[in-house]
Structure 1
Amino acid sequence: MAVNMQDTDFLWVFGYGSLMWRPGFPFVERQRAQLFGYHRSLCVFSHVHRGTPERPGLVLGLDRGGRCHGVAFRVAPEEADATVHYLREREQATAVYLERQLPVRLVDGQRITALAYVVDRKHPQYAGRLSFEETVDLVRRGEGISGRNPDYVRSTHEHLIGMGVVDPLLERLSGAVE
């Protein structure tokens, strides 16, 4: 998918999980943002970053329906190509996410189009809805190239709290995987 930009355009990137607290790319602005039509969900079996194929962890995906509070990063035009390349390497390691340009509302009310990664429900790593017990088990034992799965859940939860966003599942899960 080509990212639709002109040389003078800024790239916006929407983060809803680890991108919020560990973007990994340079940006010139960071704002709280909302994405409508998708919600944050622990619905992806992680085979790379927080687990392995033999011992998968669970990571977040944007799944259909609802809304998602997150962060929008504005990337300078001269950094756009490198940022998209970096994000594709990071987010598309197993092609479980679909790259999309989606309408996002910034906290200041401005509406922008942002690059976002939504879960591919047809992908074998799509976990869908799991029981709380299954979720706890997968998160507890998950560990991949980016670290332990409980640390990922905890860091995302703590970042959301800092933004004033309540996520009951991540809150409950953070306590259960200690």
Structure 2
Amino acid sequence: MTSNGEPGEEFWLFGYGGVVLNRSLIWKPPPHYDQRIPGWVTGYVRRFWQASQDHRGTPEAPGRVVTLIDRAHWASLSDAHAEAPEQVWGVAYRIRAEKVAEVKEYLDIREINGYTIHYAPFHPAAGGPSIRTLVYIGTPDNPQFTGPQDPAQLAEHIHRSAGPSGANRDYLFGLERALDELSPESGDAHVTNLAGRVRAIEARRGEGAVGGDEAASHEFKKVDSVDEQEETEKT
């Protein structure tokens, strides 16, 4: 299948930390993948500027998750974190050919909380030609987009937020760890800065780490159906 679902070519998903199918694809794989490749895309900036009502927050008290922002648009905004790496690191997952139609239908019908489908060229860390990947992005015109925020206030917000998938800070720490594990070059200063601020809040208040699923080792489990993937996510 092609990235558009045409017979005979491949279908890839890019995970950068954004929340789709109530999972963070950079470390929680989609169903039916058979390859996972680290690498990056360019032309974007990763920021914790997407509200989360169904993953790390609630409709009454939304948490915060990451989205990608077109780099030219980001440059026009007033961001306290005024620098961003040229490469946005993440992972690409190839969906098994016989399951592409099932996964695409599942992706199409699920509520994705402000994220929309885009396509971007993905550059494998090991080299070779780029791969056309599907990526979910919370664009600035979606109702969950928050825009620039004061880092100290954003860290406080992440520290106190929680949702059906657990504590917002576990998601932040998990993203930081997942990025660090990809490559010596894959860190993101925005993510690391926020994680450091949240740890400082914990230290001031005498708290320990929350210790949810994102604090554990990242295990990449293959499952046999999208329904089983949902049950795996809940455990």
- Does TM-score exceed 0.5, indicating one fold? yes
Share of identical aligned residues, percent? Answer: 31
The number of residues matched between the two structures is 174
Unaligned runs of at least 5 residues, structure 1: none
Q: 1:70 aligns with which of 87, 90, 114?
A: 90
Q: Secondary structure at the match of 1:124?
A: coil
Question: TM (normalized to structure 1)?
Answer: 0.89
Kindly state the Cα deviation for residue 89 of structure 1 after the two structures are TM-superposed: 5.6
Query: Cα gap change, 1:47/1:26 in structure 2, threshold over 3 Å: closer, same or farther?
Result: same
Q: Is the 8 A contact 1:56 1:138 kept in 2?
A: no
Distance in 1, matches of 2:43 and 2:124, equals: 15
Distance in 2, matches of 1:161 and 1:135, equals: 22
Q: Is the 8 A contact 2:138 2:144 kept in 1?
A: no
Radius of gyration: which is bigger? 2
Q: Is the 8 A contact 1:104 1:114 kept in 2?
A: yes
Question: TM (normalized to structure 2)?
Answer: 0.69
Q: Secondary structure at the match of 2:33?
A: coil
Q: Is the 8 A contact 2:123 2:131 kept in 1?
A: yes
Query: Cα gap change, 1:76/1:24 in structure 2, threshold over 3 Å: closer, same or farther?
Result: closer
Kindly state the Cα deviation for residue 81 of structure 1 after the two structures are TM-superposed: 2.2
1:123-150 CA distances to partner (integer Å, 9 max, x unpaired)? 2210111111221122112211221110
Kindly state the Cα deviation for residue 60 of structure 1 after the two structures are TM-superposed: 0.6
**Which amino acid counterpart does residue 104 of structure 2 have in structure 1?**
V
CA RMSD for the aligned pairs? 1.7
Query: Cα gap change, 1:151/1:85 in structure 2, threshold over 3 Å: closer, same or farther?
Result: farther
**Which amino acid counterpart does residue 151 of structure 1 have in structure 2?**
D
Unaligned runs of at least 5 residues, structure 2: 18-23, 72-85, 200-235
1:50 is aligned to 2:56: yes
Q: Which structure's residues are more often strand, by fraction?
A: 1
Distance in 2, matches of 1:79 and 1:145, equals: 28
Instruction: Give 4+ residue runs of structure 1 displaced > 6 Å after superposition.
Output: none
Query: Cα gap change, 1:172/1:89 in structure 2, threshold over 3 Å: closer, same or farther?
Result: farther
